Amino acid sequence: MDNQFDIEKIIPELNEEETPVRKDLIQAEDSFKKVMEASESIYAKLQRARVLVQKNGLKKSGYNSFSKYHYHELADFIPYANDAFDKIGLCSIFKLNSEQRIAELLIVNSFNPEETILFTLPIPGKPAQPDTPQDPKAGNLTQQIQAIGAMSTYLKRYLYLNALEIVESDGIDATP
The pLDDT assigned to 95 comes to 95
Specify whether the backbone of 118 is left (phi greater than 0), alpha (psi in -120 to 50) or beta: beta
Residue 81 has pLDDT above 90, yes or no: yes
Specify whether the backbone of 43 is left (phi greater than 0), alpha (psi in -120 to 50) or beta: alpha
Residue 148 has pLDDT above 90, yes or no: no
70/10: higher pLDDT: 70
Taking the model in full, what pTM does it have?
0.69
Write out pLDDT tens, residues 3-22.
555 655 665 555 556 677 77
pLDDT band at 94 (very low <50, low <70, confident <90, very high): very high
The pLDDT assigned to 1 comes to 47
Paired residues of 82 in beta bridges: none
> Going by C-beta distance under 8 Å and a sequence separation of 6 or more, which residues neighbour residue 28?
7
The pLDDT assigned to 134 comes to 55
Helix (H, G, I), strand (E, B) or coil at 62: strand
- Average pLDDT of the chain to the nearest whole number: 81
